[in-house]
Chains A and B, each alone.
Chain A
Amino acid sequence: SAVISQKPSRDICQRGTSLTIQCQVDSQVTMMFWYRQQPGQSLTLIATANQGSEATYESGFVIDKFPISRPNLTFSTLTVSNMSPEDSSIYLCSVDVGGPEQFFGPGTRLTVL
């Protein structure tokens, strides 16, 4: 398994601003993933971040809105840009450690006013 931390744990932001969420893992991992969990809905994969290459985005998510950095094997950031109330959600990062199962961070609860 892996121990994952996220910062901030929660934030309240104004419409039109941007927020960067950090994800730190206690061991080196190849793949890091970013998910969104909207109220009453399942987790939806935003993108996969592989160190040393551009993130791969899922259908419906674009780099201009959700830029991702992956500077090393233990760290990644997700930025939610030009936020609107529809972006209010829980944002989760996860990692895999060689198998198909993934381990999740505690999440960042974002509210956009």
Chain B
Amino acid sequence: QKEVEQDPGPLSVPEGAIVSLNCTYSNSAFQYFMWYRQYSRKGPELLMYTYSSGNKEDGRFTAQVDKSSKYISLFIRDSQPSDSATYLCAMSALLNYGGATNKLIFGTGTLLAVQP
């Protein structure tokens, strides 16, 4: 079983729709949760970063974390064609202190297409 599972899509929605992107994970040590957006032929761009369970909102984007269910979501409201990209969830468990690395574990990404 992979540590992080993400529906690869592709997901196609009409402009203005609400989009829900999801990841599940198995490692209860994961403490930090991130969503990245990656346009074609570009590097991943950090969208949202959350730590605690609950919701975090930034403009049209809402990140939701449910640690008890090991489930995270990214909601996009009023989706736009410019939102068309691959969305990657990523997680990390702070391993130790004093020069430790933060190893990110990524989902496989969901390809989203927003149709005008």
Contact = CB atoms under 8 A, between A and B. Distances in A.
Interface of A: 1, 4, 30-31, 33, 40-45, 48, 50, 56, 92, 96, 99-107, 109
Interface in B14-51: 31-32, 34, 36, 41-46, 49
B101 A48 contact: yes
A103 to B, nearest CB: 6
B108 A42 contact: yes
Chain A interface, >50% SS class: strand
Interface of B: 4, 6, 8, 31-32, 34, 36, 41-46, 49, 88, 90, 92, 94, 99, 101-104, 106-109
B34 A40 contact: no
23 contacts: A40-B108, A41-B108, A42-B6, A42-B88, A42-B107, A42-B109, A43-B104, A43-B106, A48-B101, A92-B44, A96-B102, A100-B31, A100-B34, A100-B49, A100-B92, A100-B104, A101-B32, A101-B49, A102-B102, A104-B44, A105-B43, A106-B43, A109-B41
